[in-house]
Chain A
Amino acid sequence: MRFIAAPLLLAVVLALSATLAPATGQPARWGDLEDTHTALDVYAEDSSAAAVVLFDMGEARITDRFDVELERHRRVKLFTEAGYNQATISILTFRDSEDVSGIRGQTFVPDGQGGYDRVKMDGDAVFRERVGDDRERVTFTLPALAPGAIFEYRYRINSESLLLFPSWYFQDDVPVLHSEFEAVIPRNFNYVRASQGTLPFDVETNERVNRFGTESIKYRWVRTDVPALRDEPYVTTLEDYIHKVEFQLAEYSVPGYGVERVLNTWEKLAEDLDGHNRFGRALRSSRALRRQVEAVTAGLTDPAEKMTALYDYVRTAIRHDGRRGYFTSTSLKETLEERSGSAADINLLLLQLLREADIGAVPVLLSTRDHGLVQTAYPLVTQFNYVVVLATVGNASYWIDATDPMRPFGLLPAEALAGKGWVPDRDAPMWIAIDVLGPAKRAISFEGDLDESGTLTAALRLRAEGYDAIWMRHGVDEASAEAFMRDYLSDMPGVVLDSARVEGLADLNTPLDLYAYVRVPDYAQTAGDLYFFNPIPLDRYLENPFTSPERLFPVDFNYPRTHRMTALVRLPAGFEVDEMPSPTRLTFARDAGTYQCQLGAQGNQLVVRRTVDLRAVSVEPQVYSDLRAYYDRMVSADDQMVVLKRSAPAEAEGSGDED
């Protein structure tokens, strides 16, 4: 079942929580199976579920050794073999500061007589391996799986970092009947908490308790019957929608020493970042950087020219290794020397080079679109995962990100178009709208001759700007203009590419132009005197990408797009248009999307003009059905045919000439 209407679901939750969930507040005991769970052979709310999480209990606390300890106990029921992947668990930790221990697991296999056989997981089914320099991965798998079996496992993670209090996810890719998280935190520690999800908690309490002789607060969250989280196309990230609770240490007090504020305002966060070794304090000049600035800006006096020269230098010289982040992974000097780095290394290097050239520039932290929305109410640095640069020359501001050698100045990576970013200025931190959406433009000019055998011979130019030019430049550069065009034209069955060339590949400030000569045998199908063909040779919508009839999350197009095509087709001698599509204009949500296609015939020439504009960047689920219908109508419009017939003898022409 998918949850569509929240009130309906809520009712279901309330009804079920009474019957299925373990009595709240009573810890599930290791090995004690509950009758309601053993009797379950299918999850009524989602009969397609291959498994359900019967419960997932977590308890996190700060111990008397001042580390953070998480104990987790999870029990799963399998319905079909498709649920077996739930039984292999992989935990990634920091090797130096975290430790996974107390791993136990067991499976209860139906014995065929209404009871269960218990099979324990042996210690040799737990594997530990080093990953990279500083991580460790612990992997284990439960034994004796079978449909109807119930398995459970538990483990403990101890972390030395008080900053990283564990997050808790209430949702998974299978339904969760009961998910419960308890956090016991001494009163002298204050964490900022952020919770996310469309459903309310079943229980959300806090109470005073005494642990290790310290006054503490026990927080408790319970959520029951949480539906499985499922992926949909054109979603920014499921991370935006999953039900979770997150923490970040704000302050703590040491008796006799007063309160140490760790973090609890954006101002404090900005101050911390400013003093951080891998952020503010990493922004240091060195002789190598200064020499580089001198070399790159030699002879330039205009600050704007210096800015683009430095951008071009970093963009082409330093290779992005694919990592993101906002902290540098090494010194700027070393990034410059190694010619390779993460997005943070590259963009902060450029920031420093700009400052060295007396150009005002600030870092802007953001959360990329696949990383989730930033909630401004919570000053949690972990909400970010990326940093770009905002530079100012005169009165103009420029967004800068040098991680892609094919991206022109002034465009951010598509995934960085996150709506807003945060400038961690220690004196005046601020939010700033990321309003450059950049164009993605494509224009095709097509001129061809259709001959009597139905073959279309044509010259075409494909011109791309903005985001479209980025991926096309990569495609051409990594292969060749021919290889790229061959691929681009593959929607025309039987197309023969006679030649192709590219212009504007190196100069990112000009459009990218691809020229091609093509032949398409049998482009028009012929039957005696009747010829017919589709008048839109390229870029037409073949299928509606929105296959699903309904939608839970917004459709996300990332940036606006424009496609234009002008085609001129000369008809074979002695033929004229018999039927052709009438002019079409389609719109979606006023002018959020428009489609126009117009054909004109003049003598033996056919002219086609088609423009598709998408201005909407994000479409809410409420209007999804309109969007889907709009795409359906565009596919239909693109499907229309032109029919030719042999012209009547010249004498009779006068009367047959219709508008």
Chain B
Amino acid sequence: MPHFLPLLALLALPTAPSHAPALDIPASATPMSATPTSATLVPDDDPSLAVNAAARLLYELYDHGAVVRRHDTRVEIRGPGRAIQTERRAVTIFDARGRDHGSHVVFYDTFRKLKRFRACLLDAQGEEIRCLGRRDFEDYPATSSYSLYDDNRVRVAEFVHDAYPYTVVFETDVEHDGLLGGPPAWRPQPAGNPVEQARLTVSVKGTLPLRHRARHLGDAAEPTVTEQRDATVYTWMLSMLPCRDREALGPRFHDQVPRVEVTLDAFEIGGERGRLDSWSAFGQWYGRLSEGRAELPEDARVEVQALAAQGATRREKVRLLYEHLQRSMRYVSVQLGLGGWQPFDAAYVYERRYGDCKALTNYLMAALAAVGIEAYPALILNGSRAEDLDPAFPYNEFNHVVLYVPMDDAATPEDESLPEAESPLWLEATSTRMAFARIGAGNEDRHALVVTPTGGMLARTPASTSAENREDRRLALTLAPDGRVSGTLRYTYTGAQVDRVRRALWQASPQDRLDWLYERAAQGGDLSATDFSRVDARTDTLQIAAALDVQRFATSMGSRLFVQPSRLLYVPTVPSETEQRLHPVRFAYPYLDTDEVTLQLPQGYAVEVVPEPVVLDTEFGRFEARADLSDDGALRFTRTLEIRTRELPAAAYDDVRAFFAAVEQAGTEQVVLKKAR
């Protein structure tokens, strides 16, 4: 069952079993072009699973302990709400490193019933050693980390053996009783293992049209289509897929591996029918599902009307109600059956003071309606590294809802560019701490489906710029001859960096806050007079201040003092080397970090060595670091690090790596002070 992710859990995207009935794991992306296929090694349809030359070749080429021999999925779509999905997956384990791949997990829930499963352990010749039946598959709840309760469950089976190589085979039948267009996306390499042979067959009864889309499948993207007596059959065949490793600083791994998505134009789930042949139709369905659920109880109506009356402008009223929601509600996720899509009604939320993203968004919409402000829920695929949806391919992969508030009465999502119109507001109703009108890095710069009374329409959420997402650190320090410094620090954040810091410090205990700052600014020293007061407000900017005293800031050696001016400044890590980058580089958001450290030198010391300034200017970013003596004799160190572009082509990866390596290197540069004789 698809359901909605809460904002709280979003940045570290949990392994939600939502759409992918598979273990969510690592690896990367191109298709068969880079494949070591040779005529003799093309796998045939030999039903035997004896270890063959093709499997051995994959094992040796990629030095990966487990090779997927078969990944066959057959989906028989019997109607808009019914399908039978049969899967057969065989994995050969070549050595102890592959042992953990000898398991299989099947997700099920209200709309997915497990009909059959069987698992067998085979020896190298493909002969059965032993088999497991339904009873041997252990049954667990698969409640996502952010949910209080949901109906996701899994069955798990596993084989371990020690005579390598051995092969495990898993067969499962799942009956879909309720579909949102089609079965979950098909990913034959969910964990990135090399694959000998994979096949997806989708048969559609009668004349229902099937739309499909393949990613990272190269020349195997187009299916073979055959007509049978009463069905059309689509087949994708893949073979000899290379190992996929997770690429750092890229899209979600989920989006890096090959996948096929199929959908019908009509669907039926939990007794509700809908269409997916256009975004508008899907929006209409969601709108219908929420109908009559945005009625505010009388008490609540009085409360919000009194509150909104304090606001002079439309924007001000929206702000008052949004912040009231943040103060009075909390996030609790309960996802049951169609409840994964249908919001709890406003009265329920008002009474319990909690809800999930749908319910809180719906409640805020109801509250705004009570003061005459129209707003619409907007379905979105949240995740700062998630791939944007394809406007030309209406398909359901949403996991979140935010609220869209037109600010000009005439403005609708299509004409947001009206010259005089105030731009619409996007509100993250799920967050109790986000500053008003911020959309957040996980929602920015992508398409969302705004659900208006007449249907749904795509609109793009705003993109932020580096100048909006700032971190500014200022340290004013006095250096003693023994290397100790004391002074003050002030950090100022804006935009997405406020969200980042608030996420870490919101509701944290005073000790945890101190530890956070200590780790960043005062390792080996002490902090006092800390000011975290702005963390608890929901302000656009955030400031943290403290006095610090660090014993070993500089190293004293004979007549010299070695000073690393950037010592108390955090340096980003250098992404790892890759041979051939396949996926684009994706930052969570563009940003601009500026630092200034001023250092009063001890009496009698003069500067002996100052590092050369470093200036890097690239298309995607800029870095500058320099140390100078100011007029009053203090040493002034300044540093600027800017990433201007959120996404870069794969080819830019090496440049990005070199850029961060230079930033790291510059951080090690020392200033040398020498005592005058």
By a beta-carbon cutoff of 8 Å, the part of chain A in contact with chain B is 48, 50, 80-82, 84, 88, 119, 122, 125, 127, 129-133, 137, 139, 141, 143-146, 230, 316-319, 337-340, 405, 477-478, 480, 486, 493-494, 521-522, 525, 527-528, 530, 532, 543-544, 547, 549, 579, 581, 632, 635-636, 639-641, 643
Contact = CB atoms under 8 A, between A and B. Distances in A.
A129 B149 contact: yes
Interface stretch (B111-119, B506-514, B594-602): B506-514
Say whether chain B's binding surface is mostly helix, strand, loop, or mixed. Answer: mixed
Nearest to B519: A547
A131 B156 CA distance: 12
Contacts of A477: 96-97
Q: Which of B160, B559, B560 has the most CB of A within 10 A?
A: B160
A50 B507 contact: yes
B301 interface: no
19 contacts: A48-B509, A50-B509, A82-B507, A82-B508, A84-B330, A119-B351, A125-B352, A127-B149, A130-B141, A141-B332, A141-B354, A143-B354, A339-B160, A480-B63, A522-B668, A527-B672, A632-B524, A640-B555, A641-B560
A127 B148 contact: yes
A641 B562 contact: yes
A133 B149 CA distance: 19
A132 B523 contact: no
B148 A641 contact: no
Given A81-B330, A143-B352, A493 B665 contact: yes
Interface string B83-113: 0000000000000110100000000000000
B670 A532 contact: yes
Given A127-B149, A636-B552, A119 B352 contact: yes
A547 B351 contact: no
A525 B669 contact: yes
B268 interface: no
Nearest to A320: B160
A643 B552 CA distance: 19
B665 A80 contact: no
Contacts of B330: 81, 84, 145
Interface of B: 63, 96-97, 99, 130, 138-141, 143, 148-149, 158-162, 328, 330, 332, 334, 351-354, 432, 507-511, 515, 518-519, 523-524, 526, 551-552, 555, 557-560, 562, 576, 608-611, 661, 664-665, 667-670, 672
A37 to B, nearest CB: 21
Given A478-B97, A640-B555, A641-B562, A547 B518 contact: yes
Given A129-B149, A137-B141, A145-B330, 7 more contacts: A130-B139, A339-B160, A527-B672, A530-B609, A579-B559, A636-B555, A643-B560
Contacts of A480: 63
Contact of A144 (B351, B523, B609, B664): B351
Q: Which of A132, A133, A547, A640 has the most CB of B within 10 A?
A: A547
A-B pairs with lowest CB-CB distance, top 3: A82-B507, A527-B609, A143-B352
A652 B383 CA distance: 68
A145 B432 CA distance: 13
A643 B524 contact: no
B668 A639 contact: no
Contact of A530 (B159, B510, B552, B672): B672
Given A88-B148, A144-B351, A494-B661, A131 B97 contact: no
B523 A544 contact: yes
Nearest to B332: A141
A544 B522 CA distance: 11
B351 A143 contact: yes
Contact of B524 (A125, A129, A544): A544
B96 A405 contact: yes
Contacts of B332: 88, 141
Contacts of B507: 50, 80-82
A639 B555 contact: yes
B509 A82 contact: yes
B353 A547 contact: no
A340 B162 CA distance: 10
Nearest to A109: B353
A50 B508 CA distance: 9
Contacts of A145: 330, 353-354
A81 B610 CA distance: 49
Nearest to A124: B334
A366 B446 CA distance: 56
A494 B161 CA distance: 43
B523 A547 contact: yes
Contacts of B665: 493-494, 521-522
Contact of B140 (A84, A131, A478): A131
B75 to A, nearest CB: 29
Contacts of A130: 139, 141
A639 B97 CA distance: 40
B668 A493 contact: yes
Given A146-B353, A579-B558, A319 B141 contact: no
